[in-house]
Chains A and B, each alone.
Chain A
Amino acid sequence: MVRLEQSVIMSREAQSSDTALFRRDLPKSGAYSALDIGIRLTNGATSAINMDLLDVIKHLSLVCNGNDYRFHISGQDMFRNHWLKNGRPMPYTWTEKASGVQEVWFRMCFGRFLGDTQYGLDLSRFNNVQVQIDYDCTVWGAAAVTTFTTGTFTITIIAHQFPYNARPAFRGMIGCREFYTTTTAASGDLVEDLPSSQPILALAVAAREDNVAEATDITDIVIGKDNFNTIFTSGKWYNYQQMQNADLDVREEVFDLLLSNSAYRDCHLANIKQANVAPRSMTIGVA
């Protein structure tokens, strides 16, 4: 297997705007196996209590030739999709401390795995390929000592690329995009057509609501064709969740809190089996 190179396209470049659609054109040629995107944001000078960096990232996109969205997915969903697909999450630092730096990483993988010579992103096939990050730090509230420090949304982009003299001839590339969003209603069936222009490897359903038990907002899922005369899969949310999470290597999250009595935190995990909180300070004096 060819040894991939890691090409740093940008490294911790702070954005002056707290709310923007960031755009970065990729080089005109190159054979990429994946792009890693790292995001950092600095807490306010006092704290940032129960503020999830993933909420700030409205969409991560890879746009080819101006309007062909090969990747287009929210930060929350991209983080979860990677975790469920690969069994472990990308790095995520959740800290609430004064002026602490929160950080999260995402991976757009264009092949079946890193270093796949069959599937990947060949930049020379397009006139233009652009990474877009639609972000809004003010979902936490305006910049303040208890939210975030203005001008600290920071982006890193690293390409996992094949060496110039060993670029494979890709058969295609893998993309991942959101094709429908809404807010759930209290009852009723929601039926949506699947996108049909490209072969589909996998479908994902995200239904997130804080402080609500799993399998409440969406109870049943059916995927099929011909008016559901042919069923690809059909079942209950709670059963699928047990099956799919059984294969995870990592099922734990760690938070660095500034905790007050009777406070809550909203995690990226549910059906919580174990939760431990441990204060960091203790002084004992004996006279």
Chain B
Amino acid sequence: MTTSTVTQVAVVSSIIGNRATMTGQTIGSTGLGTLTVAAISAKACDLAVVGDIHGFLRFPFADPETFEGVLMPSELRTAQIKLTQGGAGASLALIAEEVYSY
């Protein structure tokens, strides 16, 4: 029996932070006992990743229904946020979710 098979195999070989590095090979079979192997190039693949949201934290102060606990302007007059930096190069943003009374 001879076979003629071409299949791709790929794995996620390393993960750092939000970056997944993948390796993949095309495995071919062109006859009895003959295997060929080559690095894949631009092959359609699906990647599924499970984890935590990258680089983002959210601090709710108010009850989402009643708004109890909301930080009022009287408290905010001297309110501050302090961030301890440990690495250079991150894109940093501070975001406020506010209530407007028109």
Q: Does A1 contact B (CB under 8 A)?
A: no
Residue in B9, B15, B17, B81 whose CB lies within 8 Å of A203:
B81
Q: Does B85 contact A (CB under 8 A)?
A: yes
The segment from A8-16, A34-42, A156-164, A177-185 that touches chain B is: A177-185
Q: Does B4 contact A (CB under 8 A)?
A: yes
Write the nearest CB–CB distance from B90 to chain A, whole angstroms: 3
Q: Does A47 contact B (CB under 8 A)?
A: yes
Residue in B9, B40, B47, B82 whose CB lies within 8 Å of A265:
B47
The answer to whether B54 touches A269 (Cβ under 8 A) is yes
Contact with B along A26-48 (1 / 0, CB 8 A): 00000000000000000000010
Task: Classify the secondary structure of B's interface with A.
Answer: strand
Contact (A198, B98) CB under 8 Å given A178-B93, A213-B17, A276-B12: yes
Contact with B along A244-272 (1 / 0, CB 8 A): 11001001111111111111111111111
Q: Which residue of B lies closest to A258 (CB)?
A: B42
Task: List chain B residues, Cβ under 8 A from A202.
Answer: 58-62, 96-97
A214 to B53, CA, bound (A): 10
Number of interface residues of A (CB under 8 A): 120
Residue in A200, A254, A270 whose CB lies within 8 Å of B96:
A200
Write the nearest CB–CB distance from A186 to chain B, whole angstroms: 4
Q: Which residue of A lies closest to B9 (CB)?
A: A279
Bin the interface of chain B by size: 35 or more
Task: List chain B residues, Cβ under 8 A from A189.
Answer: 82-85
Residue in A177, A200, A245 whose CB lies within 8 Å of B76:
A200
Q: Does A18 contact B (CB under 8 A)?
A: no
The answer to whether A183 touches B70 (Cβ under 8 A) is no
Considering only residues 1-52 of chain B, those with a C-beta below 8 Å from chain A are 1-12, 15-25, 39-52
Since A192-B83, A208-B90, A285-B3 are in contact, a sample of 17 more A-B pairs with Cβ atoms closer than 8 Å, ordered by chain A residue number, is A170-B102, A175-B98, A185-B85, A192-B81, A193-B79, A198-B100, A199-B72, A200-B96, A205-B94, A217-B85, A224-B80, A232-B59, A255-B47, A256-B46, A263-B22, A277-B22, A280-B43
**9 interchain residue pairs of minimum CB distance:** A217-B90, A279-B8, A285-B4, A208-B55, A261-B39, A196-B76, A269-B51, A220-B84, A198-B98
15 of the cross-chain contacts (CB-CB < 8 Å) are: A176-B98, A177-B96, A179-B94, A196-B79, A199-B98, A201-B61, A204-B97, A207-B56, A209-B91, A216-B87, A241-B52, A245-B53, A262-B39, A267-B54, A285-B5
